[in-house]
Structure 1
């Protein structure tokens, strides 16, 4: 059964998207991309986990969220200025499909159904990551009691 982005793609579009991919792996501790760097690719994870982090001046990067199996890693490739908004580090051995952003944008320009489905999925991912970042930063740096209630 398809999960993540593959679950929302119209029939036949998964194969079209995968035709632009290559398989990659990252050992634990690998910095996959840095905040502010050029975003020219993205990944869909097969296995492993990746921590998304945010630079905080004078402190260690704050881990905002962890991405896992079946999830999209990287959305900054889709929107100008195409710079990473967060950093990413493999927290376990990772296997993933890596997509060349230019090829995917070109594919989407010729396939409006794929384009629409991918844009909706990426927008949902951005919203989820924004909420996670807000919550995490409130937990770390907000006044006591400003984060979500603890169970």
Structure 2
């Protein structure tokens, strides 16, 4: 009885898995595939020329930038807690923590520890900026964008 049950289950599994390998549904082999119309916001119902015209107009109409605006999103106020801590935690904290050899002198665990290496409004005199810009030092661990963010934060007075 047990052997018969196993055979029945195996036969059913074979039938089920055999059918799942079919790519086409029976009866649809001869039907041409239907083209799906584009309906997203970028498609143009009046043709590619109209879409190009709309794109050019959109670019011309988006002259909302003023001289002081920045495209990298740094026109907002940068803070240690919201912006800098994330960068340091991702790139620096593995070496600059209390338990490490480097961290015994140069800890970056909190705002007060990081501020020891910053001269507010003077990135060119800040040890943190000098260190991360040095090609032979920490530069390989941190991206140019992240360096620019930290530099802008120092330039803004290194707010908490």
Q: Which of structures 1 and 2 has the bigger CA Rg?
A: 2
Task: Give TM-score scaled by structure 2 length.
Answer: 0.28
| Structure of higher RCO (CA pairs closer than 8 Å, 6+ residues apart) | 1
The structure whose residues are more often helix, as a share, is 2
TM-score (norm 1): 0.29
More strand by share: 1
